[in-house]
Amino acid sequence: MFSETFVPSIFSYKHRLLHLSVLFFIVPYWYSHYNEQHRLSSYSVETAMFLSWERAIVKPGAMFKKAVIGFNCNVDLIVSGVRVVEALNTTCSEGKDQESMESLADLHQTFAHFFQRGAAAERYMSSEEQFNILVNEAEASTRSHHHIGGNAALMADRIAANFPSTEVYLVGPIGPRSQALIHPSVKRTNSTRILKDELHVILEYKQGEILGDWVAPSSSRFITSHDHFSGSMVVMEMFFKAIAQFRPDLVIITGVHLLEFQSKEMRQEKMRLIKRNLLQINPKTPIHLELGSLADEAFSTDVISKILPYVDSLGINEQELTFLSHIADGPYREEYPVQAGTVHVHKVVEMLHWLLKTYGRDPTGQNPNKVGYRLSRIHFHCLTYHIMVSSGTDWSNLAAGLAAGARIAGRLSCNIGANTMDSELLEIRTAANFVLDKKMEKHYQFESHNPIASWMREDVLFVFTPVLVCRLPSKTVGIDDAISATGLLYSQFYRLAHEMLSPLRLSRLSIRLIRRKPPVEKGILDEGVTFSDVHNVILTPTTRLPYPEEELRDHLEKTSSEIMKERNKQRYGTRKKKDLGLIDFSHLPIEDHVVALFPGQGAQFVGMGQKVVEVPAAKRIFDEASEVLGYDMLKVCLEGPRQKLEQTLYCQPAVVTSSVAAFEALKASDPSIEENLTDAAGFSVGEYAALVAGKCLSFGDAIRIVKTRADAMSECGKLVKSGMVTVRVKATSKLDKAMTDARKVAIEKRELDICEVANYLYCGVRVIGGSETCLKFLEDNQDKYKIQVLKRLAVSAAFHTRQMESAVDKVAQAFRNIEMHRPVCNVYSNYTGKVMSSKKGDVRGAVAKQVNSPVRWEQIQQFLFRKHQNEVFPRFYEVGPGRQLGAMLFQTSKKMHKNYTHFSC
């Protein structure tokens, strides 16, 4: 009955107001829907993609405030590549990729090789004369112009221009022209200024241009250079020094590819320098590596094994990705070399997944082979599409970063304004439907209003977007750097928040406070959470709780003493702590640590150097020593005679030279030695060899100071007849009393009262230095003072005693004009018995004062002993003549001595 009467009545005339209200609602809705569809359909594909990217681009919650960028900077000389190459009057029948070009003919061949593929590349010209000819030809060309260049400078310029809230610090060789071209807000260091700019010649070409029998399939560029400073040690050291001083929240490293063209020994040394410093950067500070064009397989293998795993983020293009996969047995290794934009997306996805899984961070932290690995983000860009890849929880806002990078790619190439969305110069070059990921069976259906696609593969996130390509590009260089910089600044790095919730940061006080929270004004946490709940969610960040994460964070912030300390540091500053100089190598397994020990005077023998002289690096050490000292050092070491070699003037330089030469031979026999060198210590004059091993001093400077030291100590030794004795004492011995009585006897005879400890060797064993009268007194009264062993040493003076006081100033004077560097490993001081300070003045003072102060070798050995973890010790190498240090190591700890090796000279 109800249905019969109600339904007709609802349409009756009495309900006309209801009918009108429904009509007024439906008609606008239909109209707006139709109008929106009509408006969207009226947009061009390019405009629709721009609008879609605009919707996706959202600034991260916390922008990077400070960024340090290094270390290549130059001026780009941009010219028409075809015109310049044709003007060189060289011939080329076929294109060939030359890793390093020696002539203009090599340039023609290499340019043609990449020209016919439309692929971007960069190669070094080894001949400065040929490069200058190219520069003159390029500058004479019409339409040539200069632009700021170098990956580091380009990225710094882009960030400064587009992200004014981010303070940028650029470290690189900056000349007069680059100083004027770079953005004025970019901070620079005066210590890397150069008088003449480094020049890179950019040979650009457009799609369809003809060179001989070849036609360019796409627009691109070829870069060549002859740099002197971008890959220099000074610039690198200043870069890492700037990181320590500027304290950024973002570090960007570029220009590593420029090391490819240096000698093998030089680039390996610099690679080790980069790796060591990367490992010292705070893990809360993200490190981005912008890769460059690579050609040498051995060098590239070093890059992906020694640098790539220790950065958080990577910027890479299709040439670089396929080359890395080619040399490291990755997927689709046959794709190299490639043409621009021709690698299928699903192949790139496989390569990126392999790269991140092989060299990326282990989210479980259980893989011992990945200790210290950080890589968790890759930004891939090629001509027609971009991909962002990430694993773990450190990075977010990736779609915004990808969209921001894709948005500027075509605009920069065509020089289109930021407000222009529709342009006939831009076009889409992508299929309507294709495979994104074969393994996951992920397909892509192009929609101009929603071009971004994302998917998960295991624990790896992929985000993909096609890119608008410029039909007639006015610029090809610097686009990759702008894309990477923009995508990076729009990305969010979250490791700081993750570390804040680490279980290690919860103190006992925090635990008690969480448990004892008063029942007044209970919040969500106080009502429903137990400490075990909090503990579980901290251990497993993906765990979901019945209350918001913000409440958990707020609760911890109020109760964690560690967080309060951090806040107080930011608010009131921190007290300046004493510089201990200790370098942390905890990222390396303890069994991989290498400790180098260098002997002192007394270890010498005729024939030193015979075992290592065939090694080129060791021979160079002997040659350099001979040049500095003015006599044939190798001949003295090999032939003696013994009486000459035992003289302080010859002995000290000979021991240091032989030890450093042996260390060079050791590194040549096992390259991992230098890479894993964590500690270096030298006994007495051997300390100089340790300083050379730790890169504090160059060998040439060290041997000059040793020469001054030997001369000064030899002169001091002539003041009074003196010597040294080794003594062994026990608990009942009265060594101090014996030395006091000996000094009294010397005073009574009106002689110099020198009798003091010169060396602390190991437990219960000392070396006493003293005048002849004092030493004779000790020998005659050995039993009286219960000295177990007393043995004379074959030395000519009481070294490391007051007798050497006048030598201290001479050694200090020798240090004044010597350039010193921060050590790359822990170097131990004989003067303090501890790790040397990182302050150069402290190091100079300690090494000079060592001359008249006791050698605290026992204390140094105790420091080295404490390095062990669960009875696992580092590797100990005594490098140079003699085995005395190994014998003392055995007396200190037999377990420690099991890892001891003697590498003789």
Q: For position 526, what pLDDT does the model report? A: 35
CB 799 within 8 A of CB 769: yes
Collapsing DSSP states into helix, strand and coil, what is residue 776?
helix
CA 848 from centroid of its chain's CA atoms: 32
Compute and round to an integer the Cα radius of gyration of the chain: 35
Q: In this structure, what token pair is assigned to residue 674?
A: 């230098």
- Residues facing residue 52 across a β-bridge: none
- DSSP-H helix ranges across 764-856: 772-780, 805-815, 840-849
Q: Which tokens sit at 544?
A: 């979901």
Q: Cα separation of 388 and 375, whole Å? A: 13
Distance CA 401, CA 60 (A): 9
Q: 815 pLDDT exceeds 80? A: yes
136 alpha-carbon distance from chain centroid: 37
| Cα dihedral across residues 675, 288, 290, 218: positive or negative | positive
Give the pLDDT confidence of 831-851 residue by residue, as tens digits: 999 999 878 888 888 999 999
Give the residue, 98 or 286, on which the prediction is more confident.
286
Cβ neighbours of 16 (radius 10 Å): 10
Q: Is the pLDDT of residue 20 over 80?
A: no
Q: What is the pTM of this model?
A: 0.64
Instruction: Indicate whether 528 pLDDT > 50.
Output: no
- Output the CA torsion sign for 633, 634, 639, 642: positive
Contact 655, 601 (CB under 8 A): yes
The answer to whether the peptide bond before residue 71 is cis (omega within 30 degrees of 0) is yes
What was the pLDDT predicted at 495? 66
Mean pLDDT of 891-897: 88
Which of the four pLDDT bands, split at 50, 70 and 90, describes residue 420? low
Tokens 């005048």 belong to 771
Across the beta sheet with 900-903, the strand order is 826-827, 677-682, 594-598, 875-879, 900-903
Checking if the pLDDT of 137 tops 70, the result is yes
CA 885, CA 688: separation in Å to the nearest integer?
A: 16
Looking at residue 568, its pLDDT comes to 62
- pLDDT higher than 80, residue 624: yes
Q: Which residues contact 275 (CB under 8 A, 6 or more apart)?
A: 306, 307, 310, 675
Q: What's the pLDDT band for 555 if we cut at 50, 70, 90?
A: low
**436, burial (CB in 10 Å: exposed 0-12, middle 13-18, buried 19+):** buried
- Sequence-ordered strand ranges (E) for 664-803: 677-682, 722-728, 755-762, 765-771, 789-792
User: In this predicted model, what pLDDT tens digit does every residue of 337-355 receive, in sequence order?
Assistant: 776 557 899 999 999 999 9
Ordered structural domains, the chain, with CATH: 66-495 (3.40.1190.20), 501-572 (no CATH), 590-717+804-903 (3.40.366.10), 722-796 (3.30.70.250)
Contacts of 632 (CB under 8 A, 6+ apart): 626
Confidence bin at 419 (pLDDT 50/70/90): low
pLDDT > 70 in the chain, percent: 86
User: Binning pLDDT at 50, 70 and 90, where does residue 567 land?
Assistant: low
Q: How far apart are CA 188 and CA 172, in angstroms?
A: 8
Parallel, antiparallel, or unpaired: how do β-strands 214-215 and 765-771 relate?
unpaired
pLDDT at residue 520, rounded to an integer: 38
Instruction: Round to whole Å and give the CA distance between 270 and 498.
Output: 33
pLDDT of residue 57: 93
Q: Which residue did the predictor score with more confidence, 13 or 301?
A: 301
- Is it true that the peptide bond before 541 is cis, omega within 30 degrees of 0? no
Is a pLDDT exceeding 50 seen at residue 530?
no
Question: 723, 793, 730: which is closest to 755 by C-alpha?
Answer: 723
**Cα 815 from chain centroid (whole Å):** 30
What pLDDT sits at residue 289?
97
Choice between 230 and 353, residue whose per-residue pLDDT is larger: 353
Flag the least confident range among 327-331, 461-465, 727-731.
727-731
Q: How many CB atoms are located within 10 Å of the residue 610 CB?
A: 14
- Could you tell me the pLDDT band of residue 553, with boundaries at 50, 70 and 90? low
Tokens 């080129």, located at residue: 616
- Please state, for a pLDDT cut of 90, what percent of the chain lies above it: 53
Query: By CB neighbour count within 10 A (0-12 exposed, 13-18 middle, 19+ buried), where does 381 fall?
Result: buried
Q: How far is CA 570 from CA 14, 245, 246, 567, in A?
A: 73, 16, 15, 5
Per the CB < 8 A criterion, the answer to whether 765 and 815 are in contact is no
The pair of structure tokens assigned to 656 is 């240091």
Q: DSSP letters along 27-74, please?
A: HHHHHHHHHHHHHHHHS-HHHHHHHHHHHH----SS---EEEEES--E
DSSP H/E element including 437: strand 433-437
pLDDT, mean of residues 774-793? 91
Lowest mean pLDDT among 504-508, 565-569, 590-594: 504-508
Kindly state the average pLDDT of the residues 800-821.
90
Residue 321 pLDDT class (50, 70, 90 cuts) = very high
- The pLDDT assigned to 511 comes to 37
264-285 pLDDT tens trace: 888 888 998 899 899 889 889 9
Q: What is the mean pLDDT of the chain?
A: 85
| Residue for token pair 């408006």 | 39
Please give the pLDDT value at position 538.
36
Cβ burial, residue 455 (10 Å; 0-12/13-18/19+):
middle
- Predicted local distance difference test score (pLDDT) of residue 780: 92
Q: What Cα–Cα distance (Å) separates residue 497 from each residue in 314, 394, 501, 507, 703?
A: 22, 9, 7, 17, 50
Distances, alpha carbon 454 to alpha carbons 63, 387, 457, 464, in Å: 24, 9, 10, 6
Confidence of residue 602 (pLDDT cuts 50, 70, 90): confident
**Cis-peptide into 28, omega within 30 deg:** no
Question: What residues does 598 pair with on adjacent strands?
Answer: 682
Q: Which helix (H) or strand (E) holds 123?
A: strand 121-125
> H or E segment at 67?
strand 66-70
- The residue behind tokens 């560097």 is 821
Contacts of 370 (CB under 8 A, 6+ apart): 309, 361, 362
List active site positions.
Answer: 481
Of the pLDDT bands very low, low, confident and very high (cuts 50, 70, 90), residue 817 is confident
Alpha-carbon separation of residue 717 from 499, 541, 599, 649, 714 (angstroms): 59, 68, 21, 11, 5
Q: CA 292, CA 383: separation in Å to the nearest integer?
A: 16
Tell me the residue type at 149. Answer: G
Q: What is the pLDDT of residue 764?
A: 86
Helix H or strand E encompassing 538: helix 531-539
Coil, strand, or helix at residue 443? strand
Average pLDDT over residues 488-516: 53
Q: State the first-to-last Cα distance of the chain, in angstroms, to the nearest integer.
A: 114
Amino acid sitting at position 366: Q
Kindly state the average pLDDT of the residues 541-549: 40
At residue 262 the predicted structure's pLDDT band, cuts being 50, 70 and 90, is: confident
Confidence (pLDDT) at 345: 95
Which pLDDT band holds residue 444 (cuts at 50, 70, 90)? very high
- 650 secondary structure, DSSP code: H
pLDDT in tens, 359-418: 999 877 778 888 889 999 999 999 899 999 999 889 999 999 999 999 999 888 888 876
